[in-house]
Amino acid sequence: MNTRPLMFFGTTNLDLCFNVERLPTPGESLMGGLTRYPGGKGANQAVAAARLGLKPHFYTRLGDDDVGRSLLQSLREAGVCTEAIGIARGEVSGSALVMVGDDGSNMIVIDPGANLNVTADMVQSAAEFIEPDAIVVAEMGLPISALNRLFEMKADKGFELIFKPAPVRPGLSPAAWASVDFVTPNQTEAFELTGIEVTDFDSAVHAAVRLLDLGPAAALITLGAKGAYYADAKRSFALPAFPVKVVDTTAAGDAFNGAFAASLAQGLPLRDAVKRALAVAALCVTRRGAQSSMPTAGAVDEFLKSQTILELE
């Protein structure tokens, strides 16, 4: 099976994770345990793909500090190709404060650090690592000017574009939106982009129509424990999530997105790619941390096999 090249553009952070019994209310103090994990939406997605057996390139920007060196080493150990990564002299690496309740819910605050200063020219330089017939995956944590430049290069480079619009921000040009092949928001992001509250598959149908009006060729909305809904101009379908015991939902969307891109790169049909991405996200939420929670291809195959057996029974 021929695998298409894959490249991710996005952020990398050190996650400072506090595990607490429940999320605090404003003004409340709680006791919790602190663990440090490598994270960042772009990095998490690239690691998800690497754990599934691909060798994705990744562009991000790290500070020249101990945190940046540790994050870079973690990416390399996961199997991510790091030649395109920029090192920002005199800047600090990004970090995130993550609180995770016993029910798996989370609250996240991000200090972007070196991620904040990615320029359009930096992204254009990194684009030399985009190979012919590649799938490119981007998330909205990078500056909008840099994303607009990346999306503008699609016509010349000829890549397929997957866009995770998180965190949602204004400023992406109409031309940039029109260059997106798959936009992959979760329920909250879909609401922020469309004004339609997504609570089930019926409301996802309406939100997908509004998303397609923005310009993308296809919309793929994740609905947490309910599953995912896909729509383009010709077809649509909904797939349920796999039931699992949730421990930490922090990187579920990143796991889904990275796995969806990897599955398309490996030549899986669209519906099968979405199903596999749901399986990767399901396994991800049963483990703590971001990159550390991404499952291997073997684990995913065993999980899908067990689910098939259950369906037959």
All domains of the chain in start order, with CATH: 6-11+41-93+115-312 (3.40.1190.20)
Q: Which residue has the higher pLDDT, 117 or 309?
A: 117
Residue 162 β-bridge partners? 137, 182
Q: Count other C-beta atoms under 10 Å from residue 118's C-beta.
A: 25
The dihedral sign for the CA sequence 116, 111, 83, 88: positive
Distance of alpha carbon 311 from alpha carbon 240, whole angstroms: 13
* pLDDT the model gives residue 251: 87
List, by residue number, the catalytic residues.
Answer: 254
Q: Which residue has the higher pLDDT, 310 or 278?
A: 278
For the chain, percent of residues with pLDDT exceeding 70: 98
Sort 66 into a burial class: Cβ within 10 Å, 0-12 / 13-18 / 19+.
exposed
In one letter, which amino acid is 255?
Answer: A
Tell me the average pLDDT across 238-259: 93
Distance of alpha carbon 229 from alpha carbon 243, whole angstroms: 17
Beta strands in 184-235 (DSSP E): 218-222, 227-232
* pLDDT the model gives residue 73: 97
Residue 313 has pLDDT above 60, yes or no: no
Entry field: residues in the chain: 313
**pTM for this entry:** 0.93
Q: Which residue has the higher pLDDT, 115 or 98?
A: 115
pLDDT tens for residues 206-222?
A: 999 999 999 999 999 99
Tokens in use for 25?
């209310």
Distance of alpha carbon 44 from alpha carbon 252, whole angstroms: 10
Residue 312 has pLDDT above 50, yes or no: no
Tell me the average pLDDT across 264-277: 97
- Which own/partner pairs from 73-78 qualify as long-range (CB within 8 Å, at least 24 positions apart)? 74/38, 74/291, 75/12, 75/38, 75/43, 75/46, 75/47, 78/46, 78/47, 78/50, 78/51, 78/291, 78/294
